[in-house]
Chains A and B, each alone.
Chain A
Amino acid sequence: AQRVTQPEKLLSVFKGAPVELKCNYSYSGSPELFWYVQYSRQRLQLLLRHISRESIKGFTADLNKGETSFHLKKPFAQEEDSAMYYCALHTGTASKLTFGTGTRLQVTL
């Protein structure tokens, strides 16, 4: 069965420091991976997806099939990056998204 693991519940970094939010997946098929973000008092929204290979708000994520990882990175954290981040795996034809347990990113001055 598919699984998404986010090992850190909380990641606290200083403003300007690099950020890496870890995500590992387990899936026998071809994975489609996403990062979703939930800012305080806002709804969950898509941050980026691996198939588009784009950078959003300075964040990037590379799919590493050998390590079954899809870590989210940003070179310089900003206060406004503080939020809950979820890694998600899309599987099958029924559009099922399996979410990781989420990592709360806290950027402090």
Chain B
Amino acid sequence: DTAVSQTPKYLVTQMGNDKSIKCEQNLGHDTMYWYKQDSKKFLKIMFSYNNKELIINETVPNRFSPKSPDKAHLNLHINSLELGDSAVYFCASSQGTGPYEQYFGPGTRLTVT
């Protein structure tokens, strides 16, 4: 009965590789997000999708490409990984684009070596 799930939980890879993180929500929400939490625990929004359409792109390098095949899924693909991409990535969802509660996934810890 997990509301927002992410796979994988941990991802260790080398610089230059391409990797994907998947996110699924079963709450029937219209809006989904990707956040990055750095080593100092600072949480920053990367992308937001509403009804499969991109509505927020916070000047993220274009090596990061989100894809929303349907309202319940928002995947994050990262090309040519760099050391600075090491972080915890959180997916979240909310019922709409207003000031609604956001429900977070458990996070994916990405380590680039």
> B-contacting residues of A (Cβ < 8 Å)?
32, 34, 43-46, 49, 51, 84, 86, 90, 93-99, 101-102
Which single member of B44, B94, B105 contacts A95 (CB below 8 Å)?
B94
- Find out whether the CB atom of B44 lies under 8 angstroms from the CB atom of A43: no
Q: Which residues of B contact A34 (CB under 8 A)?
A: 99, 101
Q: What is the size category of the interface that chain B forms with chain A?
A: 20 to 34
Which single member of B33, B97, B101 contacts A93 (CB below 8 Å)?
B97
Contact code string B99-113 (vs A, CB < 8 Å = 1, else 0):
111111111000000
| A34-B43 Cα distance, complex, nearest whole Å | 14
- Find out whether the CB atom of B102 lies under 8 angstroms from the CB atom of A97: yes
The answer to whether the Cβ of B27 comes within 8 Å of any Cβ in the partner chain is: no
- Find out whether the CB atom of B50 lies under 8 angstroms from the CB atom of A43: no
Q: Which residues of A contact B45 (CB under 8 A)?
A: 96-98
Which single member of A45, A96, A102 contacts B41 (CB below 8 Å)?
A102
Q: Which residues of A contact B44 (CB under 8 A)?
A: 99
Contact code string B28-55 (vs A, CB < 8 Å = 1, else 0):
0001010000001111110010100001
Q: Which residues of A contact B31 (CB under 8 A)?
A: 95
- Find out whether the CB atom of A94 lies under 8 angstroms from the CB atom of B97: yes
| A32-B94 Cα distance, complex, nearest whole Å | 15
B39 CB → nearest A CB, Å:
12
The answer to whether the Cβ of B98 comes within 8 Å of any Cβ in the partner chain is: yes
Q: Which of A45, A97, A101 has the most CB of B within 10 A?
A: A97
